[in-house]
Amino acid sequence: MDGLPGTASNVKQPLSMMDNIKQQVLEVIHNLNWLLEAHDSHVTLIKIKGNQVSIRCIGHCTECETDCIGVAFKERMPGIILIRKNKIS
């Protein structure tokens, strides 16, 4: 019977390691885009392969010396390798 406590239809499955990484990456990107919006810039996820995270940075912040994007990822996810594809608007 579906819907009974303990049946497969209502038991939460643990996130896979890849899903967990993707969720963390999307949270970092979401928080970054709040800041970058004021500078006519934003970040999008291209792909995740193992511990390599490819992002696209668009706007003026891609050339910024403070590197807020890199710092945010290093602080929240120090074990990843960040690969950037920049596009200056």
What CATH number is attached to the domain comprising 42? 3.30.300.130
| Number of structural domains the chain divides into | 1
Q: What mean pLDDT is predicted for residues 20-39? A: 95
- Give the number of other Cβ atoms within 10 Å of residue 59's Cβ: 18
Q: How high does pLDDT run on average in the chain?
A: 85
pLDDT level of residue 81 (50, 70, 90 thresholds): very high
9 pLDDT above the threshold of 80: no
Q: Is residue 31 part of a domain?
A: yes
CA distance 13 to 20: 12
Q: In Å, how far are 14, 20, 40 from 4, measured between CA atoms?
A: 19, 28, 50
Q: What mean pLDDT is predicted for residues 37-44? A: 94
Q: What is the dihedral of CA 62, 71, 50, 30, to 10 degrees?
A: -70
- Domain holding 69, by residue range, is 16-87
Q: Is residue 78 part of a domain?
A: yes
1 pLDDT above the threshold of 80: no
CB 10 within 8 A of CB 54: no
